[in-house]
Structure 1
Amino acid sequence: MRGYRALARATARAALAYRFSLLLGMVAVLVQLVALLAVWHVILEQSPMNGFTWPQMRAYLLVAFAAGTVVSILGDFRMAFRILDGDVALDLVKPVDYQKARLAESLGGLWIELALISLVVGVTLAVTGGVDLPPGPGLALFAASMLILVPLKFLIVYVSTLACFWTQNFMGVQWARLAVVNLFSGALIPLVFLPGWLATVAQWSPFAGLTSTPALIFLGQVDGREALQLVAVQLGWVLVLWFGARLVWRAALRRLTVNGG
């Protein structure tokens, strides 16, 4: 455990050392949040749409912002470049599990992300008005959903980055992941705005757990058994992706051996 804690602390120190890069990334996400708030305010100011009022959509977008910000100091570019350059071979000789080590790195910057989220959400609420919190059971399920979101998001980013063992460039992999995640997670628009069949597919995919599930629970649009079911789907995908990532890693190692890495 000592090695993993050291990796987590190193990630936090690196994020604080490169504060400008961290803030630049936060500004990019903040600009998207402001733009979405402005667009949806115009759309929903007069009347609700698909069950969303303007205050509900504002709360949805804030949850989406928080969900999109956590586990963003993962260093997927660093991991990708080490794979593409062959430096990943040096990681293999370290006395730590590769997958757990990358998870430790992603958790290392979590407290920084939570501080930034609290600041942005607090300022937004102060300017635009408060939001209604769900009742006790709903708030507990929302907290559980946000907690499960952390390993789920890590695994989606981690598995997609492992694709660099088979590709020559990471940018295409990243763009494809961002496009799929933004659509199927509900980060850009709630899944209810998608065609029925596509919304159903998205809801049962691992991506819905990144935004839609915690947001719907927070808004109270799902409760009781349905909310528990959505959280169970989140947890199920964490287990599937965790062990699935192990299989992908084994295949990647064989690829590395073939290339003489």
Structure 2
Amino acid sequence: MGVFPWVAWYGFRRYTAYPLSSAAEAVTNTVFGFMRAYVLIALWHARPALGGYDVADAVTFCFITQAMIGPVQLFRGLELSERIRSGDVAIDLYRPVGLQGWWLADDIGRASAEMLLRSALPLVAGAVVFDLNVPSAPGLAAFALSAMLGVLVSFAIRYLVALAVFWLHDDRGLQSIALVMSLFFSGMILPLVVFPGWLASIAQAMPWAALVQVPADVFLGKHTGTDLLGALGFQAGWAVALLAAGAALTAAARRKLVIHGG
């Protein structure tokens, strides 16, 4: 077995080492899920069929997004930021594997652990209380693929933000901007389908839509046939573009470190 599967495996083990902590986060996500669900129910009762959703779609969307918080890591960046600040990234760059590949493998292990320990409870609790729209087996398979692509896009965005520390030295401002963009344009706060026409078009074309909105719409069956292929292609396209940008920025960061004697 190659290096990257081992890195992913150890990342998975690291993030499953404290299951009680993950359980507490799952409970928090579930509680906030119910709070959001009742807000959305009130909104859809006032505006039926808003954005092409009915009430059941809106409530299902709510619990899907709560289940996706952990895997796509909306609220936290990469530990790489701190390693760059401390200089420990020099050790990472000495490894005989690519920096981006190493951290991607670790993040895949993390996302797998989060999905196992944090995603099930919000969905199960929501299904017990509300009549959620649950897709068929092919729909669930399509959702699983879309969720994995969402994790890739999420990693690529967070990796670019982390690499900015090579030049900014302090990423707190950039992390705050990234958090706001992720929450607003991913569909986490409100489904992007309720945005006004021009804003919805812009938001749905941005990479953050691949994190939550697209997987949720796949789960709800809003994308079928060639439209489903287009939605998955949208996510894959942003993943490839952002990972390519990450590879280019990694090369630039390596040159900068070497030039400065690192």
Contact 2:143/2:215 (8 A) holds in 1: yes
Which deviates further from its counterpart, 209-218 or 63-72? 63-72
When residues 11 and 84 of structure 1 are mapped into structure 2, their CA distance, relative to the original with a 3 A threshold, is same
Three-state SS of the structure 2 residue aligned to 1:70 is helix
Superposition misfits of 4+ residues, deviation over 6 angstroms? none
CA distance in 2 between partners of 1:176 and 1:148 (Å): 23
Alignment of 1:53-68 (within 5 A): 53-68=54-69
Counterpart position of 1:209: 210
CA distance in 1 between partners of 2:232 and 2:241 (Å): 14
Deviations 1:202-240 (A, max 9, x none): 212211111111212222333332222121111111111
When residues 80 and 18 of structure 1 are mapped into structure 2, their CA distance, relative to the original with a 3 A threshold, is farther
Three-state SS of the structure 2 residue aligned to 1:50 is helix
Amino acid at match of 1:122: V
CA distance in 1 between partners of 2:64 and 2:202 (Å): 22
User: What is the total number of aligned residue pairs between the two structures?
Assistant: 260
Give the TM-score, by structure 1 length: 0.87
Following superposition, the deviation at residue 71 of structure 1 comes to 4.3
Counterpart position of 2:101: 100
When residues 15 and 222 of structure 1 are mapped into structure 2, their CA distance, relative to the original with a 3 A threshold, is closer
Three-state SS of the structure 2 residue aligned to 1:166 is helix
Which deviates further from its counterpart, 12-21 or 90-99? 12-21
Following superposition, the deviation at residue 81 of structure 1 comes to 0.6
Q: State the percentage of identical aligned residues.
A: 31
Following superposition, the deviation at residue 154 of structure 1 comes to 1.4
Three-state SS of the structure 1 residue aligned to 2:119 is helix
CA distance in 2 between partners of 1:169 and 1:23 (Å): 32
1:16 aligns with 2:51: no
Deviations 1:235-256 (A, max 9, x none): 1111111211111111112222
Amino acid at match of 1:38: Y
Counterpart position of 2:130: 129
1:34 aligns with 2:34: yes
Amino acid at match of 1:125: A
When residues 80 and 96 of structure 1 are mapped into structure 2, their CA distance, relative to the original with a 3 A threshold, is same
> Runs of 5+ in structure 1 lacking a partner?
none
Contact 2:154/2:211 (8 A) holds in 1: yes
When residues 223 and 158 of structure 1 are mapped into structure 2, their CA distance, relative to the original with a 3 A threshold, is same
When residues 75 and 15 of structure 1 are mapped into structure 2, their CA distance, relative to the original with a 3 A threshold, is farther
Three-state SS of the structure 2 residue aligned to 1:221 is coil
CA distance in 1 between partners of 2:218 and 2:90 (Å): 43
Following superposition, the deviation at residue 87 of structure 1 comes to 1.0
Following superposition, the deviation at residue 148 of structure 1 comes to 1.7
When residues 16 and 189 of structure 1 are mapped into structure 2, their CA distance, relative to the original with a 3 A threshold, is same
Three-state SS of the structure 1 residue aligned to 2:182 is helix
What is the root-mean-square deviation in Å for CA atoms of aligned residues?
2.6
Three-state SS of the structure 2 residue aligned to 1:220 is coil
Counterpart position of 1:50: 51
Alignment of 1:84-95 (within 5 A): 84-95=85-96
Counterpart position of 1:241: 242
Which deviates further from its counterpart, 86-95 or 34-43? 34-43
Following superposition, the deviation at residue 188 of structure 1 comes to 1.0
Amino acid at match of 2:43: I
1:250 aligns with 2:241: no
CA distance in 2 between partners of 1:31 and 1:167 (Å): 37
Counterpart position of 1:151: 152
Counterpart position of 1:197: 198
Following superposition, the deviation at residue 74 of structure 1 comes to 11
Contact 2:81/2:171 (8 A) holds in 1: yes
Which deviates further from its counterpart, 9-18 or 213-222? 9-18
Three-state SS of the structure 2 residue aligned to 1:208 is helix
Deviations 1:165-195 (A, max 9, x none): 1112222222111111111111111112222
CA distance in 1 between partners of 2:196 and 2:72 (Å): 30
Contact 1:10/1:108 (8 A) holds in 2: yes
> Runs of 5+ in structure 2 lacking a partner?
none
CA distance in 2 between partners of 1:96 and 1:38 (Å): 48
CA distance in 2 between partners of 1:151 and 1:237 (Å): 9
CA distance in 2 between partners of 1:57 and 1:146 (Å): 18
CA distance in 2 between partners of 1:5 and 1:134 (Å): 31
Give the TM-score, by structure 2 length: 0.87
